[in-house]
Structure 1
Amino acid sequence: MITGPRETIKRARQLRSEMSVPERLLWQHLRERPGGFKFRRQHPAGIYVLDFYCARLRLAVEVDGWAHDSVKTIARDRQRSAFLRSQGIATTRIPAKAVLDSVEAVMVRLTDICEARADGLLSR
């Protein structure tokens, strides 16, 4: 299982109590283990903290709000995704607006992604 240094673990614990509205809304659904997939929230991964993480699938789910639209943040997100790929972890990015507009539709799509990833991991 991927984890991080002590500072990252401490930051992850802090972020669990500071989740954004879209993150909280999505967590309400993810904690019910959709499709039988267990997710962790604010999971440390190296120097990063993942919004949500499914260890079985090695899948990170990131909820991106307006702050992820800046050039600087886009570059940082690319670095994070590259690091995660190097660890065998896929990343799915979900716009915060999509969660707020229809969390049910997001959950259907996310469950489809999980099932496809599970099928791909089994066929290896």
Structure 2
Amino acid sequence: MNQYSSSYQENLFYGASQLIIERAGALRKNMTPAEMRLWKFLKNKQILKLRFRRQHPIDIFIADFYCHQIILVVELDGEIHNNNETHEYDENRTSELERLGITVIRFKNHEVMENLEEVIFKLKEICTNLLR
């Protein structure tokens, strides 16, 4: 973390606490199969030369993937996201992120595992629109 100035860190992490930053680091070591699969296509600026970060701290949240250049969060939803309580939490979380000026896109894990080409296509389309 010392490689960034404090104002850059504040902007990049939206004031995330040290605890959230540490939790994000732990999550990077335990990615789901869907996250690992999508990460292969997001890392190394493979999509429109945009840099994505994985398990990125934002305020009190940890986004699955984040691109600071276009202020985009990409979330992957597993089976747990199908229950009403989690769905409501996801909606509130998305609203909070959007309140910060962040665009949020969600994909289901099974979409990444079964139709990655379509996910990448949709993601490129959104990224292109946000670059305009």
8 A contact 1:2–1:46 mirrored in 2: no
User: Of 55, 58, 72, which aligns to 1:59?
Assistant: 72
What is the number of equivalent residue pairs in this alignment?
A: 119
Identity between Structure 1 and Structure 2 (%):
34
- 1:7 corresponds in structure 2 to 19
Instruction: Find runs of 4+ consecutive structure 1 residues off by over 4 angstroms.
Output: none
1:108 deviation in Å? Answer: 1.4
1:58-105, CA deviations, whole angstroms, 9 ceiling, x for partnerless residues? 000000111111111111111111111111001000111010012122
Larger relative CO (CA 8 A, sep 6+): 1 or 2? 1
Gaps of 5+ in 1: 120-124
User: Of 82, 103, 109, which aligns to 1:69?
Assistant: 82
Q: Secondary structure at the match of 1:13?
A: helix
Query: Is residue 94 of structure 2 the alignment partner of residue 81 of structure 1?
Result: yes
User: Of 99, 102, 110, which aligns to 2:115?
Assistant: 102
- 2:37 corresponds in structure 1 to 25
Task: Please tell me the residue identity of whatever aligns with 1:63.
Answer: L
Gaps of 5+ in 2: 1-10
- 2:4 corresponds in structure 1 to none
State the distance in 2 between where 1:75 and 1:106 align.
Answer: 24
State the distance in 2 between where 1:57 and 1:99 align.
Answer: 22
- What TM-score comes out, normalization by structure 2 length? 0.87
State the distance in 2 between where 1:75 and 1:2 align.
Answer: 26
- What TM-score comes out, normalization by structure 1 length? 0.92
8 A contact 1:30–1:38 mirrored in 2: yes
